[in-house]
Amino acid sequence: MVMAAFHHHLTTGDTWLARHGLELDGRPIAYFCAEFGLHNSVPIYSGGLGVLAGDHLKSASDMGVPIVGVGLFYTNGYFDQKVNLDGWQTDSDEVFDLAGTPIQPLAGPSGEEWITVVETSGRPVHVRAWKMMVGRVPVYLLDTNLEVNAAEDRALMNKLYAGGPQLRIRQEWILGVGGVRVLRAVGIDPAVWHANEGHAAFMFVERLREHVEGGASFEGAVNAVRARSVFTTHTPVPAGHDFFALDELERVSGPVWTSLGIDRSRFFALGTMPGDAQNFHMTVCALRLAARVNGVSRPHGQVSRHLWRDLWPDRPWEAVPIGHVTNGVHLPTWMAGAIQGLLAEHLGPNWTEHIDDSAMWDRVLSLDHAKLWQAHLWLKRILRDFIREDARHRFAGQLKEAAAVVGAGALFDPDVLTIGFARRFATYKRANLIFSDIDRLRRLCTNPDRPVQVIFAGKAHPADTPGKEVLQSVYRYTRDPSFEGRIAFVEDYDMHIAHLLVQGVDAWLNLPRVPLEASGTSGMKAALNGVPQLSTLDGWWQEGYDGLGGWAIPTGADGTSSDAQDAESCYRLLEEQMVPLYYTRDGRDIPLGWVERMRHALRLGGRRFTAQRMLADYVREYYLPASRADLAGDVPPTD
Ligand SMILES: *Cc1c(COP(=O)(O)O)cnc(C)c1O
């Protein structure tokens, strides 16, 4: 029965795309990304970018948007996190077990394993592909771990984002060049090519080569590639963009310019930028070879136009042709079953077909307080049970100190206002901001009548020592007895833990230093579960904050604020608004004012921050015009 319904879903012509009369000329969109967060069992993602890419494909499948994913297959996935008793993160790898995943090797025309060859570092590297279906969307994952390859090449895809630039550039070369070739091998001729972040920009170069080898001039090839290309940038700071020394690129690419009919310097000019002629910038290359470019939230579009203004010296920066498509999250993945059930009851059984109807989302404002609160408490208990079990397992047999178990959250109390903070431990995300006044935080946490508990999770990049230091400082407070077990750390943040947290905490905390968060998506996941967020006005929150579905840490008139100011605002919002609201109960012990915020969070998330809305924007504003190879005017900024 379930399978029959699923099959119907995969083959039916009644899709969002068909219902809206949108035609993509029968050819798919190729979506390239260095990581995909599709499911916990396939650990080829590190964080937000990968999970977003996974949500993109899942929504495309739901909506009948023809798309194929292209990525890399990392044998050891991303690292597993262990935090020692001293709070220092150690990284370990487990080779992941293919048997437990829906991944199949890609076969060639006569059934043998499909293999292509990519020239790199002066020798041929054999590349094979694995195929995985995400609903009706195929994803091709490239892999060089083949016996014919030199040991160094076999190990290329061992790990995601590990190793220095020498390894990364080779991974990215394989992704771009090998990715185009695998699509050709399976007979796919995409109408649109989408590079999700600069890691995939060599895909544009490989397509230049195809056009030139097919007889086009270099200029003709550039125009042809640009016309059908979409590029999404995710990083608001210059240092976050990949770049490689020119001689490094030359070592990897070889004299690729000869097959492009140009000389060396003209090839490098694709990726150099004013003020830096020594490095090849992946984002710059993508900006030059994709006619349609977007940032991932309204403020990030603006930041990106400013960041890349030097590439368009003839324009005022406001007219730099970079628009935005605000990120969104895949509702069926992130909204808890209990909340979905509540909505089905309240909005009618077919509510999922009307996710793009904002009037429907207005109706969640009349959700029954008691029912929403009950559903939330149920999810909170699931989180509690997980955390307690996890603490028990982690310290079974090595129980050195009771404080360690406390720090892992064994004292989690479902009656206490619970705040979740889970994300990569990059310093700009400021996980330690709420510790800037220890006494004040301690008073909040240990108030006997109205206590607060905070649960942290997140990995620091293995090479990010400052990030690991922030993690360590946070971790030490989990074991400080004066906090009475009210600060906890959950190890090894991944999609599974993300689910439990965004569904089970009372409020979501997000403290990026403005304007360094391009979008952020975990707060959207929380909102879809009726979990309001407290955040600086950055990324999606700057765009979405409506004064009702959460709380905002204000910025000064110039759009910035200091750490001290932000910490002060954060404490005050907690002390003066959130804690009183949470503990003000009616005769049934329901915090009506708090549940009001929950209803607004749910409405906000549903109306504006689902991946379905995101994909609809991509289809209408980017994919459809690109599929017509329409170069008439580049995308204007959409403000
Ligand atoms: C959603 C998600 C992220 C991204 O969250 P941000 O708010 O963008 O930091 C990272 N990791 C996992 C596992 C996620 O599910």
Tokens 């603490």 belong to: 391
**What single string gives the DSSP state of each residue in 356-369?**
T-HHHHHGGGGS-H
The domain ranges of the chain are 2-327+617-627, 335-345+358-609
Nearest alpha carbon, ligand 1 atom 5: 522
Average pLDDT over residues 379-396: 88
Check pLDDT > 70 for residue 461: yes
Closest ligand 1 atom, residue 499 Cα: 15
pLDDT of residue 11: 52
How far apart are the C-alpha atoms of 348 and 363, rounded to whole Å?
A: 11
Closest ligand 1 atom, residue 497 Cα: 13
| Cα first-last separation, the chain | 46
- Strand locations in 423-559 (E): 452-457, 487-490, 507-510, 533-536, 550-553
How far apart are the C-alpha atoms of 126 and 134, rounded to whole Å?
A: 26
329: DSSP letter: B
How many helices and strands, by DSSP H and E, does the chain display?
28, 20
Assigned token pair, 91 = 């990284």
Nearest alpha carbon, ligand 1 atom 3: 48
23: DSSP letter: -
Average pLDDT over residues 371-390: 96
Check pLDDT > 60 for residue 237: yes
Average pLDDT over residues 426-451: 96
pLDDT of residue 51: 97
Distances (CA, A) of 21 to 25, 64, 142, 160, 454: 12, 12, 34, 40, 48
Q: Do the beta carbons of residue 300 and residue 518 sit within 8 Å?
A: yes
Cβ neighbours of residue 469 closer than 8 Å, sequence gap 6 or more: none
How far apart are the C-alpha atoms of 80 and 89, rounded to whole Å?
A: 10
pLDDT tens for residues 252-295?
Answer: 999 999 999 999 999 999 999 999 999 999 999 999 999 999 99
Q: Is 35 in the pocket of ligand 1 (CB under 6 A)?
A: no
CB-side neighbour CA atoms (13 Å) of 48: 22
Neighbours of 605 (CB within 10 A): 30
pLDDT tens for residues 145-182?
Answer: 999 999 999 989 887 877 788 999 999 999 999 999 99
Pick the CATH number of 335-345+358-609 from 1.10.357.10, 1.25.40.10, 1.10.20.10, 3.40.50.2000: 3.40.50.2000
For ligand 1, the distance from its centroid to the CA atom of residue 48, given in whole angstroms, is 4
Q: Is 535 in the pocket of ligand 1 (CB under 6 A)?
A: no
pLDDT tens for residues 86-132?
Answer: 888 887 777 777 777 788 888 877 888 888 999 999 999 999 999 99
Q: Is 47 in the pocket of ligand 1 (CB under 6 A)?
A: yes
Question: In 457-517, which ranges are continuous DSSP H helix?
Answer: 465-478, 495-504
Burial class (CB in 10 A: 0-12, 13-18, 19+), 391: buried
For ligand 1, the distance from its centroid to the CA atom of residue 35, given in whole angstroms, is 13
pLDDT of residue 399: 57
How far apart are the C-alpha atoms of 134 and 57, rounded to whole Å?
A: 7
For ligand 1, the distance from its centroid to the CA atom of residue 524, given in whole angstroms, is 10
Question: What's the maximum distance between 2 C-alpha atoms anywhere in the chain?
Answer: 79
How far apart are the C-alpha atoms of 268 and 264, rounded to whole Å?
A: 6
Average pLDDT over residues 418-434: 93
For ligand 1, the distance from its centroid to the CA atom of residue 10, given in whole angstroms, is 28
Q: Do domains 2-327+617-627 and 335-345+358-609 have the same CATH topology?
A: yes
Of all helices (H) and strands (E), which one includes residue 166?
Answer: helix 165-173
Average pLDDT over residues 27-33: 97
How far apart are the C-alpha atoms of 262 and 268, rounded to whole Å?
A: 10
pLDDT of residue 635: 46
Neighbours of 633 (CB within 10 A): 9
Closest-CA residue to 292 (of 210, 195, 218, 199): 195
pLDDT of residue 398: 64
How far apart are the C-alpha atoms of 574 and 419, rounded to whole Å?
A: 10
pLDDT tens for residues 534-564?
Answer: 999 999 999 999 999 999 999 987 878 899 9
For ligand 1, the distance from its centroid to the CA atom of residue 360, given in whole angstroms, is 27
Q: How many residues does the chain have?
A: 639
Mean pLDDT for the chain overall: 92
Of 39, 49, 51, 160, the one to substitute when testing ligand 1's pocket (max ligand atoms within 8 A of C-beta) is 51
How far apart are the C-alpha atoms of 76 and 49, rounded to whole Å?
A: 19
pLDDT of residue 100: 74
Average pLDDT over residues 386-412: 77
Closest-CA residue to 537 (of 317, 297, 377, 206): 297
Beta partners for residue 105, in sequence order: 130
Tokens 């952020």 belong to: 520
How far apart are the C-alpha atoms of 546 and 365, rounded to whole Å?
A: 14
pLDDT tens for residues 44-74?
Answer: 998 999 999 999 999 999 999 999 999 999 8
pLDDT of residue 599: 98
Check pLDDT > 50 for residue 616: yes
CATH fold group of domain 2-327+617-627: Rossmann fold (3.40.50)
- Identify the three-state secondary structure at position 133: strand
Nearest alpha carbon, ligand 1 atom 2: 48
How far apart are the C-alpha atoms of 69 and 129, rounded to whole Å?
A: 12
Assigned token pair, 336 = 């808890």
Average pLDDT over residues 301-307: 96
The answer to which of 306-315, 391-400, 455-464, 567-576 has the lowest mean pLDDT is 391-400
Assigned token pair, 320 = 């730099």
Q: Do the beta carbons of residue 97 and residue 89 sit within 8 Å?
A: no
How far apart are the C-alpha atoms of 408 and 519, rounded to whole Å?
A: 29
For ligand 1, the distance from its centroid to the CA atom of residue 531, given in whole angstroms, is 15
637 pLDDT tier (thresholds 50, 70, 90): very low
How far apart are the C-alpha atoms of 262 and 249, rounded to whole Å?
A: 16
Assigned token pair, 382 = 């699931």
Check pLDDT > 50 for residue 2: no
Percentage of residues in the chain with pLDDT exceeding 70?
96
Q: Phi/psi at 532 (nearest 5 deg)?
A: -75, 155
pLDDT of residue 638: 39
pTM for the structure as a whole: 0.95
pLDDT of residue 1: 35
Q: Is 48 in the pocket of ligand 1 (CB under 6 A)?
A: yes
Percentage of residues in the chain with pLDDT exceeding 90?
76
Check pLDDT > 70 for residue 632: no
pLDDT of residue 634: 54
pLDDT of residue 208: 98
Describe the crossing of helices 282-289 and 218-227 by its angle, rounded to 10 degrees.
90
Q: Is 522 in the pocket of ligand 1 (CB under 6 A)?
A: yes
